[in-house]
Structure formats: C-alpha cells, structure tokens
Amino acid sequence: MTVSLGRRVTAEAVGTAALVAVVVGSGIQAAELTRDTGVQLLANSLATVFGLGVLIVLFGPVSGAHFNPVVSLAAWAVGRRGPDGLPLRDVAAYSVAQTFGAIIGAVLANVMFGRPWVTWSTHDRFAGHLWLGEVVATAGLILLIFGLLRSGRDHLAPFAVASFIGAAYWFTSSTSFANPAVTIGRAFSDTFAGIAPGSVVPFAAAQLVGTAAGLALVAVVFGRAAAAVALPHDELGPAVPAER
C-alpha cells in the first residue's frame, strides 16, 4: 500500500518540528543549567542524538524520515532514473513542509521556556571555516545515508545517522547543521542553538555544495547503480533519513 503524499508531508512537517524543538529546547535548557559552553554543547548534542534516532524510527515507515530538503533532493537525484524515485513534486512538497515544521519547532521551544514566540538569533556564524564545516557535515551525511541504501543496510540508519550527527557536533567547526530547513528554523530563536538570519544563506549554500560532494562520493565508492527506494511503499518500508 502506497502512503499518500498528504500523510508523508504531514510526517515530514511534524518530524522536523519535533527535531528542531529538541535541538533548540535542549540548547535553551543547557544554557540555563550551566555557563560552561562545553557542557552546553554536550547536552545539546546528546539530546539531538537520542531525539533524531527516535524520530527516524517513528516516521521512517511513513515518509522516509528525511526532515531535510537536501536529503529529499538527493533522494530524487539518485532515484530519478528508476520507477521508485522521489518525484520533484514531492521534493518541493517535502521541502516546504520541512521548513514550515522547523519554524514551528523553534517557536514551540521558545514558548515552552517562557520566551517570546520569535526572537531573531544574534548568533553570528558568518565565516569561511564554518561554511567548510557545513560542506563536510552535509557531504558526510549524504554519503552515509545513501551508502547504507546502496549496500542494503538501511535498517541501520536510525542509529548510524544519529551517531554521525552526534559526532559531527564535535568534529565540525559549524557543529553540523547540515540541513537548510533546520538552519532557517534556528534563526527564529536567539539562544545557544540559534543562527543569525544573515548567516542562513551562506550556510544553506554550503549545504548544497556538500550535497553535491556527498552524491559524487556515493557514486565513486558505491557505484552508479540505482539506489534503494527513496520513499516507502508500505507501512514497513525502508526509510531515507536525514539530519537535523
């Protein structure tokens, strides 16, 4: 039984909202509990790892648990020659839902902690080394997701993707946003996890570059054979998850 586009889009919106609520909310909580930025980052990254893993398990059978426009775009790119690829219409619908969900998630986190609904972030992240970090993080994410699909190990995705994101919090200079929708959402909260609106576009551009690099690596390492399905065909179908 094919899952309808409406249900898949709803899953993407709700899942992305929950993911950003976890990222922003845990950032607020950490900043309120300690002034040690290392401890704040540790708390933020651990909450994101656990939250992302759960969300992929929950929503994967419905929408593929992308939660990320570049993952949806990559799913179209690798499956466009086959009958099971994600159509561009669905990529557009997913991307709108993911972005809307990310904004709602940031607003929800703000309100839960007694803050104004929207407080534009003043956390400037406008620097070349941070953009490089986003290229690396996004390329690694795409390589991981579609490498698992190509090798028939997509059942490991909830744990592998969450683990990669947790590690990338620490080994990339940008703390691994790797997601244009989440980047936009985090601009709506002037908190530890926020990003200034003026830093959003360069981050998103770096993420697109990273997506292209990741797809190139998938082709080189795993070959150009058609990937596994990019969207579920039944309630127990495989997932194509993504990062925060």
Residue 217 CA to residue 85 CA, distance in Å, equals: 19
pLDDT digits (tens, 9 = 90+) for 25-62: 999 999 999 999 999 999 999 999 999 999 999 999 99
What are the residue boundaries of the structural domains of the chain, listed by start?
A: 5-222
pLDDT digits (tens, 9 = 90+) for 148-170: 999 999 999 999 999 999 999 99
Task: Assess whether pLDDT exceeds 70 at residue 235.
Answer: no
**Class of the domain covering 5-222:** mainly alpha
pLDDT at 143: 98
pTM exceeds 0.85, yes or no: yes
Which pair of tokens denotes residue 77? 């790119």
